[in-house]
Amino acid sequence: MTFNELGLSEKVLQAVEASGYTTPTPIQAQAIPHALVGRDILGIAQTGTGKTAAFTLPMLSRLEQGRARARMPRTLILEPTRELAAQVEESFIRYGINHKLNVALLIGGVSFSDQEAKITRGVDVLIATPGRLLDFFERGKLLLTGIEILVIDEADRMLDMGFIPDIERICKLVPFTRQTLFFSATMPPEITRLTEAFLHQPVRIEVAPPSSTASTITQALVASAPGPAKRQTLRNLIRSAESFKNAIIFCNRKRDVALLHKSLLKHGFSAGALHGDMDQRARMASLDAFKTGGVDLIVCSDVAARGLDIPDVSHVFNFDVPVHAEDYVHRIGRTGRAGKAGTALTIVAPMDKKHVGEIEKLIARPIPWLDISAFDTVIATDEETAEAGAERADVATDLMPPRRSGGRRGSRRNETEPAGMTVAAPARAENARKENLRKPRPAPIADPAPARRRPYSEPAEDRPVVGMGDHTPMFLLRPVRLKPAKMAEEQE
């Protein structure tokens, strides 16, 4: 089957041909004909199967007729992250090169006034994250009554990020007669309930079992001890990887992203970083550097695990085993895209065995081990441990705020000790004891004269209290000044 058989418009077919695509993916071949006739679609497919084009191409064909009005977009696409929203915008620009359509992007970290100006001029395609979209709506800058097509992409990621209440609210704000296209890689019960509530007799398209991984990805587990040995294991894997071109490295925590990024730079690797605490400009710059080949490695949190289409990623390294098994499917889906081969290696410490079992249960297949005999015997050498300690100290200095000098936990260096010199504690104590023995002892001080005894007085609690005693308020002791007229009256 070719794109010419799907019923797309001539302008869209020309843009697809110019992009170099001739054969649609399975989800594109099944979803596009139904989307062109206005049917609701529930698409289930693992990441990297071309879901973005499955709703982009039919939307462009349907938007050729009609015109957008101010503050009233014609179509709405909801994405869980800023990077995914920007990626969908790029797809519309690429495939809509022959169309005169206005596309607007509503995401955080970008000037509010610039986005408002685009909305005011009128947009045909609005791509947004749920938070920024509702912010515009609540300020009265946006009307959703003109939405003809609603696309909810990466719905399971929306669930993980807590956007489901926002999605439910948005679905109630758009017209009931809209067309809804719903795409997800996994179908947990909460997502199933959402589809039953807001989709009207949808066409279910499932090109692969839920939570399955692409057959083009070679998966393996690598044993490692935790701590410094884990970073050493990652460096060895990168150096010994076959057909290595570039790689995405995933960590569970943002702090570990910064630590691992600095460690890789210190060992001479070309690496970038991407996590949620970075501002939008830095995130886009780091992602663009990886896409264009400016860096070979990019260390990410799960902000980059869903839907990012980065062509020709040869390897994915899970530095940390994901806590949620579904995240594993999305992480390794960054490689092996569009039918190309890819490799996904996961570094496993002894405490990660439980999470590995959950992943294998989810994808319904065992993951082979590399060098499994060394699972409990891999240890870090003294040199690696010292090196890792220095790395951790450097990163801690960059990430933690400066501590105040002094205090109970402040440094108590001897004033006579030169700065930067370290002396062992037993040797320091012995030197201090010998120094005290050399010093002459001071002469004993004579006992002072005995103090005179005070005469007996009855205890304070037995004395009679006159007036307020010793607790008279000061304002009662202040002298009172009388006016002359009042003084004359008192004298009379």
- Distance, in Å, from the CA atom of 487 to the CA atom of 480, rounded to the nearest integer, reads 12
Instruction: Decide the pairing of beta strands 217-223 and 342-348.
Output: parallel
pLDDT at site 228:
85
Confidence band, pLDDT 50/70/90 cuts, at residue 375: very low
Mean pLDDT of the chain, nearest integer: 79
The least confident of 251-265, 320-334, 404-418, 439-453 is: 404-418
Q: Is 253 helix (H, G, I), strand (E, B) or coil?
A: coil
Confidence band, pLDDT 50/70/90 cuts, at residue 278: confident
pLDDT at site 71:
87
Residue 492 in this model has a pLDDT that exceeds 90? no
- Distance, in Å, from the CA atom of 310 to the CA atom of 274, rounded to the nearest integer, reads 14
- Nearest CA-CA partner of 270 in 246, 306, 244: 246
CATH 3.90.1280.10 fits 217-399, yes or no: no
- Distance, in Å, from the CA atom of 205 to the CA atom of 480, rounded to the nearest integer, reads 95
Mean pLDDT along residues 194-203: 92
The least confident of 236-245, 407-416, 461-470 is: 407-416
Between residues 459 and 56, the one the model is more confident about: 56
- Domain range annotation of the chain: 3-206, 217-399
Tell me if the pTM is above 0.75: no
- Distance, in Å, from the CA atom of 135 to the CA atom of 126, rounded to the nearest integer, reads 14
- Distance, in Å, from the CA atom of 276 to the CA atom of 160, rounded to the nearest integer, reads 15
pLDDT digits (tens, 9 = 90+) for 313-370: 899 999 999 988 878 888 888 888 767 888 999 999 989 989 999 999 988 889 999 8
Confidence band, pLDDT 50/70/90 cuts, at residue 49: confident
End-to-end CA distance of the chain: 123
Token pair, residue 227, equals: 């701590």
Mean pLDDT along residues 14-27: 89
pLDDT at site 210:
60
pLDDT digits (tens, 9 = 90+) for 247-262: 999 998 888 999 999 9
Confidence band, pLDDT 50/70/90 cuts, at residue 417: very low
- Nearest CA-CA partner of 283 in 13, 83, 79, 31: 83
pLDDT digits (tens, 9 = 90+) for 466-481: 566 667 777 777 777 7
CA angle 180-162-130, nearest 5°? 50
Cα separations (Å) of 58 from 22, 34, 77, 204, 309? 16, 9, 13, 17, 20
Going 2 to 7 to 11 to 16, the CA torsion angle's sign is: negative
For residue 164, the one-letter residue type is I
Q: Is 110 helix (H, G, I), strand (E, B) or coil?
A: coil
- Distance, in Å, from the CA atom of 36 to the CA atom of 179, rounded to the nearest integer, reads 10
pLDDT digits (tens, 9 = 90+) for 106-122: 998 788 888 999 999 89
What class, spelled out in words, does domain 3-206 have in CATH? alpha beta
Confidence band, pLDDT 50/70/90 cuts, at residue 87: confident
Percent of all residues in the chain with a pLDDT value above 90, rounded to a whole number: 41
Only one residue has tokens 């992943």, namely 359
For residue 285, the one-letter residue type is A
pLDDT at site 374:
41
Query: Which residues lie across from 103 on neighbouring strands?
Result: 125
For residue 13, the one-letter residue type is L
Between residues 143 and 446, the one the model is more confident about: 143
Query: Does the fold of domain 217-399 match that of domain 3-206?
Result: yes
Contact 124, 102 (CB under 8 A): yes
